[in-house]
């Protein structure tokens, strides 16, 4: 099984490990719910080095990505990022990813680990003009530092003004050489940062963040709480909530699509679907109490099947079970009551607007541009 | 690992305690630790008859749902409503406030077919060696 540079740290912390798409990753260190609360109330430190890091460079890098992704890259300036989707010709989602513009024609994309190989092959096969695709994942790590204390702790640990980095901004960590960057992104719905580092820096940063922030209530966080946090924030998971048979509109991610952008892969189908409508809609729902809605369970309305659960969890912040899934479009309105049958007991599931949890609103203004001296090579 | 010597144990990690003519049932510290983060309990109705080694209740953790098996056959006479309201009691005090249900046993013999503490201790040592 594949191991990250922090594998030994996880073992020393006595983490419960799990096989995640061939990677031996921490599921939890102490408790999923405790780690979840630490992220919401203080700070959580995640090793997400299993995710793929791919560089897309060259004079035609932007043209390639504009053709392959649904977002309009002209809207993404240097030192900025966007969440986007890569589609096949049928409009099906090949992957969801964050695309960072490090420089003019210099992009870093972070892809799901299960899709890394197929994504790189797809990028290679569809690259335009002079574009170089480089999978730089090996020998590199990603740490996510998430929670209301993230800014304060990282300012100290990195000795850098991370406060000036706006949401979805990215900048080099100058003290760590040209290959290390920090971005104000994450998968928890709250404030936080992701650090893309060569392996040899990862252990030191991991140790520094933990020793600095432990007295403030910080905890290392495993994939268990990473999942409960993303559900609470209404964030979709590739392979669970969507796959190649899902279109952006069905999964409620059509806001990422620049539908007027010329000729990107999958566009025709999306335009058609926008006219015709969809046969299923992605929703969030909550139970006032009861069991955890598990993937695959049926959602019913008027005594018949009307949808399916794709993700579910128990939220220790909202203190109730939450779920996401697909229903027939007329049933997607918030307030609609559906029935979830679990072990022959019926529970009422009420459709609610996503996200379930909105996060701290306190964000620094995005108007502060990244100083040119802080730009990446 | 806490394995009280006055209890009887099952291979499926339930404990059973004689309380007069009744049997109190819960899950062991080992099971509690494996499940972690218990968030929901489904306990049997009072008066339901249960059979030894057949599912009698369900415990859900954040990760998954787990069947709880009746350690002896009999009739459910009480259930722990406090634990239904506060499922974290299973994690906090699995041998005390986190008990699950009480069975009025059909016969007195079945309890002696269960494992004493030392045998159960060996079983989980073998389990964790895998």
pLDDT surpasses 90 at B7: yes
- Residues B18 and B7: their CA atoms lie apart, in Å, by 8
Which residues, other chains included, contact A81 with Cβ-Cβ below 8 Å and sequence gap of 6+?
A98, A99, A100, A101, A168, A169, A170, A183, A185
Residue A369 has pLDDT above 90, yes or no: no
Average pLDDT estimate for A252-276 = 96
The nearest CA of chain A is from the CA of B109 a distance in Å of 32
Answer yes or no: are the C-beta atoms of B19 and B12 closer than 8 Å. Answer: no
Calpha distance A201→A176 (Å, rounded): 7
Integer angstrom CA distances of residue B31 from A167, A373, B36: 42, 56, 8
| Chain A contact for B37 (CB, 8 A cutoff) | yes
Q: How far is A343 from chain B (nearest CA, A)?
A: 10
Q: Which residue in chain B is spatially nearest to A29 when comparing CA positions?
A: B36
Task: For A120-173, write each residue's pLDDT tens digit.
Answer: 999 999 999 999 999 999 999 999 999 999 999 999 999 888 999 999 999 999
B60–A contact, CB cutoff 8 A: yes
Q: Please report which confidence band the pLDDT of residue B108 belongs to, taking 50, 70 and 90 as the band edges.
A: confident
Enumerate the domain spans of chain B.
12-119
> Touching check for B67 and chain A: CB below 8 Å?
no
Mean pLDDT over each residue of chain B, to the nearest integer? 95
Angle at A41 between CA A38 and CA A42, to 5 degrees: 70
Distance CA A84, CA A315 (A): 27
Interstrand relation of A298-301 and B8-9 (parallel, antiparallel or unpaired)? unpaired
Q: Does B40 touch chain A (CB under 8 A)?
A: yes
Ramachandran assignment for A114, one of left (phi > 0), alpha (psi -120 to 50 degrees), beta (any other): alpha
Give A76's Cβ-side CA count (13 Å radius).
31
pLDDT class of B130 with cuts at 50, 70, 90:
low
Q: What percent of chain A has pLDDT over 70?
A: 95
Test the B interface: residue of A20, A37, A224, A287 with most B CBs within 10 Å: A224
- Hey, are the CB atoms on A292 and B42 less than 8 Å from each other? no
Average pLDDT, integer, range B24-51: 97
Nearest to A291 among B40, B63, B91 (CB): B40
Interface A–B counts its CB contacts (< 8 A) at 39
Go through the domains of chain A in sequence order and give each one's CATH number.
Answer: 7-51+138-232 (3.30.1360.120), 279-352 (2.40.30.110)
pLDDT reported for residue A363: 45
CATH fold for domain B12-119: OB fold (Dihydrolipoamide Acetyltransferase, E2P) (2.40.50)
Task: Mark yes or no for CB contact B65/A294 under 8 Å.
Answer: yes
């Amino acid at each position: 099984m594949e191991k990250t540079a922090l594998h030994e740290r996880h073992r020393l912390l006595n983490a419960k490990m799990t096989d995640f798409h061939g990677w031996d990753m921490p599921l939890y260190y102490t408790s999923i719910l405790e780690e979840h609360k630490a992220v919401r109330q203080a700070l959580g430190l995640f090793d997400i080095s299993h995710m793929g890091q791919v560089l897309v460079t060259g004079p035609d890098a932007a043209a390639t990505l504009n053709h392959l992704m649904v977002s309009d890259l002209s809207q993404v300036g240097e030192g900025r990022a966007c969440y986007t989707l890569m589609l096949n010709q049928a409009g099906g989602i090949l992957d969801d990813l964050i695309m960072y513009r490090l420089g003019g024609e210099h992009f870093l994309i972070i892809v799901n680990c299960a899709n890394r190989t197929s994504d790189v092959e797809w990028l290679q096969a569809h690259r335009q003009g002079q574009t170089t695709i480089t999978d730089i994942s090996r020998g590199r790590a990603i740490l996510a530092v998430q929670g209301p204390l993230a800014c304060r702790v990282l300012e100290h640990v990195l000795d850098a003004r991370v406060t000036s980095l706006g949401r979805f901004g990215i900048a080099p960590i100058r003290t760590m050489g040209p290959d290390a960057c920090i971005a104000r992104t994450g998968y928890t719905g709250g404030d936080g940062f992701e650090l893309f580092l060569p392996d040899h820096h990862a252990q030191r940063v991991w140790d520094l963040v933990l020793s600095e922030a432990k007295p403030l209530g910080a905890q290392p966080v495993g994939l268990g709480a990473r999942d409960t946090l993303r559900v609470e924030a209404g964030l979709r998971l590739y392979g669970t909530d969507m796959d190649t048979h899902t279109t952006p509109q069905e999964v409620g991610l059509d806001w990422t699509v620049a539908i007027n952008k010329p000729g990107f892969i999958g566009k025709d189908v999306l335009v058609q679907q926008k006219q015709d409508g969809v046969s299923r809609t992605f929703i969030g729902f909550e139970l006032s109490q009861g069991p955890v809605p598990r993937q695959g369970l049926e959602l019913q309305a008027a005594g018949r099947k009307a949808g399916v659960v794709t993700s579910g969890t128990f939220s220790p912040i909202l203190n109730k079970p939450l779920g996401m899934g697909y229903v027939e479009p007329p049933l997607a309105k918030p307030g609609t009551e559906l029935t979830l049958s679990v072990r022959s007991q019926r529970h009422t599931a009420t459709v609610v607007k996503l996200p379930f949890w909105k996060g701290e609103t306190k964000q620094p203004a995005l108007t502060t541009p990244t100083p040119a001296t802080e730009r990446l090579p | 690992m806490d394995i009280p010597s006055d209890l009887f144990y099952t291979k499926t990690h339930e404990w059973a305690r004689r309380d007069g003519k009744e049997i109190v049932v819960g899950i062991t510290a080992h099971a509690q630790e494996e499940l972690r983060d218990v968030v929901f309990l489904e306990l049997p109705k009072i008066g339901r008859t249960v059979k030894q080694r057949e599912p009698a209740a369900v415990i859900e953790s954040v990760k998954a749902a787990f069947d709880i098996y009746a350690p002896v056959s009999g009739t459910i006479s009480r259930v722990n409503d406090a634990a239904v309201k506060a499922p974290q009691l299973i994690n906090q005090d699995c041998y005390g406030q986190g008990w699950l249900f009480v069975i009025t046993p059909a016969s007195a013999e079945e309890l002696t077919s269960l494992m004493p503490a030392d045998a159960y201790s060996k079983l989980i040592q073998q389990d964790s060696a895998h």
